Amino acid sequence: MAEIKSGYSMYDFNASLIKNYPPLKWAGLNKAKFIINDFHNNHKNRYYIALCHNLRYFTVYDTKPNDTKINLSVSFGAEVIDCSSNLGEILDVQISDNKQSVEIWVKQNSERGAECVVLIPYDKGIVKVGEIQNEYND
């Protein structure tokens, strides 16, 4: 079988399909919050980062805030959805095939296609200044 070279990546292919999805309404956004909360419950990281290279966007989330009154089982997914909705209309939210990230597809306007905001565990990306020095001094 001959290989067809289209010049499109899987990202481009997915973006071209998803850009035609209708924006998620209340029920879909509520389900998305549970998807994100379940993802967090499975990974149990303290920090997560949401990245979108094409939009030059990132947000780091700390899931262990100092405020003990926060119900994280409700708040984390809600916070991620709220921040993502500031980028545009949310079209789809799903866990990646390898279960290592959540893909949040947003559309800013009709001229632009859909963009994927990827939410990943980020504990290994956080460096607390001084902790490495303290390990060597022990």
- What letter represents residue 100's amino acid? Q
Long-range contacts of 68-74 (CB under 8 A, 24+ apart): 72/40, 73/37, 73/41, 74/33, 74/37
In a domain, 9, yes or no: no
Question: CA–CA separation, 115 vs 110, rounded Å?
Answer: 12
pTM of the model: 0.83
Residue 8 lies in a domain: no
Q: What is the DSSP string of 56-120?
A: TEEEEEESS-S-TT--HHHHHHHHHHHHHHTTSEEEEEEE-TTSS-EEEEEE--SSS-EEEEEEE
Q: Which of 9, 106, 13, 91 shows the shortest CA–CA distance to 55?
A: 106
Residue 138 within a domain? no
Segment 23-34 mean pLDDT: 96
Residue-wise pLDDT for 45-101, tens only, equals 999 999 999 999 999 999 887 666 666 656 899 999 999 999 999 999 999 999 999
Average pLDDT of the chain?
86
Domain-embedded: residue 94: yes
Residue 11 has pLDDT above 50, yes or no: yes
pLDDT value of residue 1: 44
* Counted domains in the chain: 1
Q: What is the residue range of 32's domain?
A: 21-123
